[in-house]
């Protein structure tokens, strides 16, 4: 049911709030669904201030509630238009995980990866390499310094945030 509605919202280019945490209904993502299949969805995310908040990938079965055509979406749309917030074009065809990692590597975006539904950030850094089974992430600490590497199998990835506005400072510090 939710997957069908998410695909409809993608086709109509409608804003949606996506809830994944059953214990905290104040925690949700907001944006435009840009890709959806049986396993994953990718959406262009916006911060509560209407700013481009990068891309998010989530497992469809982790979503327990969506909201759309509501007052929050209406107000967010106004903020997004006011600030002129947009996302660069990014097309997803089949393997959304690999495609988002490739896009993040190409654009030098910082990624935040959750593994095995851990409910926390298991790896934060820059995509170093991508192969058939997984990826290698150059870990970046909160000071923008290299902190080693993490190698992650695609099958263990449950969420990815790419170019998240709360963590962009790490990329800026790393590149300085």
- Please identify, among 92, 115, 144, the residue that sits at the C-terminal boundary of a domain: 92
Report how far Cα 93 is from the mean position of its chain's Cα atoms: 16
* CB contact at 8 A, 149 and 138: yes
Q: Which domain holds residue 55?
A: 1-92
- Strands 29-36 and 40-46, sheet pairing: antiparallel
**Residue 89 predicted with pLDDT over 70:** yes
The pLDDT assigned to 25 comes to 63
In the block, tokens 């059953």 appear at 22
- Of 10-24, 67-81, 93-107, 120-134, the range with the lowest mean pLDDT is 10-24
| Residues 159, 148 within the same domain | yes
- Please identify, among 39, 58, 92, the residue that sits at the C-terminal boundary of a domain: 92
| Residues 83, 105 within the same domain | no
The alpha carbons of the chain give a radius of gyration, in whole angstroms, of 16
| Residues 106, 49 within the same domain | no
* CB contact at 8 A, 45 and 29: yes
Residues paired with residue 25 on neighbouring β-strands, in sequence order: none
* CB contact at 8 A, 17 and 29: yes
**Residue 1 predicted with pLDDT over 80:** no
When divided into structural domains, the chain yields a total of 2
Q: If pLDDT is split at 50, 70 and 90, which confidence band does 26 have?
A: low
């Amino acid at each position: 049911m939710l997957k069908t509605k998410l695909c409809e919202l993608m086709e109509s280019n409608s804003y949606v709030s996506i809830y994944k945490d059953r214990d905290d209904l104040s925690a949700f993502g907001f944006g435009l669904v840009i890709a959806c299949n049986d396993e994953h969805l990718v959406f262009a995310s916006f911060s509560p201030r209407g700013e481009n908040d990068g891309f998010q990938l989530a497992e469809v079965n982790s979503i327990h509630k969506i909201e759309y055509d509501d007052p929050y979406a209406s107000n967010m749309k106004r903020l997004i238009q006011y600030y002129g917030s947009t996302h660069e074009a990014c097309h997803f065809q089949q393997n959304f995980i690999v495609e988002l990692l490739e896009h993040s590597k190409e654009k030098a975006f910082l990624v935040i990866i959750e593994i095995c539904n851990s409910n926390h950030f298991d790896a934060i850094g820059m995509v170093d390499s991508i192969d058939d089974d997984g990826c290698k992430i150059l870990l970046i600490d909160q000071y923008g310094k290299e902190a080693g590497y993490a190698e992650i199998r695609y099958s263990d990835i449950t969420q990815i945030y790419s170019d998240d506005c709360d963590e962009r400072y790490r990329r800026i510090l790393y590149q300085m």
